[in-house]
Amino acid sequence: MKILSKKKCEEILKRITANEIIQTEYGLHDMEAETKATENRAEIAFIVGGIKGMNKVQNTLRKRYNN
């Protein structure tokens, strides 16, 4: 298993967030596929950044859609 640097973790979390935004903007046409994709990204965010990583992604998404 490779240990990631903090910078690499941040980069991965940013990519997950960007992916979530793209999915929300353009959407998947299959609800089951969309749900599975979201679950997979949440799991990756947890593996990479733990609870803080998941919260970071969710807070970024909330900020984007509250403005």
pLDDT digits (tens, 9 = 90+) for 26-45: 776 777 777 888 788 888 88
Question: What does the pLDDT read at residue 42?
Answer: 83
d(CA 36, CA 21): 15
Answer for the pair 45, 58: CB distance below 8 angstroms, yes or no.
no
Residue 48 forms part of a structural domain: yes
Structural domain tally of the chain?
1
State the average pLDDT over residues 39-54: 83
Q: What is the mean pLDDT of the chain?
A: 80
Question: What does the pLDDT read at residue 43?
Answer: 83
Q: Which domain holds residue 59?
A: 7-24+32-66
Residue 2 forms part of a structural domain: no
Residue 40 forms part of a structural domain: yes
Asked if pLDDT for residue 1 goes beyond 60, the answer is no
d(CA 30, CA 27): 9
d(CA 11, CA 5): 10
Residue 54 forms part of a structural domain: yes
Question: What does the pLDDT read at residue 67?
Answer: 65
Residue 1 forms part of a structural domain: no
